[in-house]
Structure 1
Amino acid sequence: MYNVLIVEDSKPILRNIKTLLSSLDLPLTVVATATNGEDALEELGRLPVHLLITDIRMPRMDGLTLIEQAKLIHPQLLVVLISGYSDFEYTRKALNLQVFDYLLKPVARQQLEEVMNRAIGQMNRHTLNETEMLNEIVDSSYGMMQLDEQFQHSPKLMFIVRKQPFAASRDEWNPETLQHWLSELFAPHACRVFPTYVPKQFLILVNGAITGIYSTVYECLESARRHLSIQGIEVTIGGQLQPAEPGKLPELYYRMTEILNEHQRIHQGAVLDFGVFFSQTGSEKETIEPVFAISFVEMIRGRKKEQFKLKLVEQLTKWSGENIRLADLERFVALLIDTFAHVISEQNTDIRLSLEESSAPLFGCESYADFSRGLLEWSEKCFEMLQAHNRKSGQEWFQQMDEYVKMNMYSPLSITDVAHKFHISPSYISRIIKKYTQRTFVQYYTGLKINEACKLMENRQEMKFKEISDALSFSDQHYFSKVFKEYTGYSPTEYKERLLVRQDKENKGIRV
Structure 2
Amino acid sequence: MYNILIVDDEPLICKGLSSLLQSAGLDIKSIFTAYNGHEALDFLRMEEIDLLITDIQMGAMSGIELMHQAKIVKPWVQAIIISAHETFQYAQLALRLGAKDYLIKPLKNEQFLNSVRNVLLQMDKPMPAGDEFLSAQREHFQMEEPRQERTDRLNRLLDVPDAGGDSERIKELGLTGPYFAVLKIKLMTAQRESSLRNEDIRLLQYAALNIAEELLTPDWSHVAFYSPESEISVVVQWDEAAYGASGVDKINQLDMIGRSLHHNVSKYLNLPCVIGISQILKGTEFLHTLGEQAKKAILWNREHRDHFVFYFGDFKWSLFSEEPTEEEWAEQNNQIVEKAKAYIDRNYAQKGLTLHEVAQRNHVSPNYLSYLFKKYTGFNLWEYVIKLRMEESRRLLLHSDMRRYEIAEKVGYESPEHFSKIFKKYYGVSPSEVKK
TM-score by length of structure 2 reads: 0.34
Question: Greater helix percent: which structure?
Answer: 1
TM-score by length of 1: 0.30
Name which structure has the greater RCO, CA cutoff 8 Å, separation 6+. 2
Q: Which has the larger radius of gyration?
A: 1
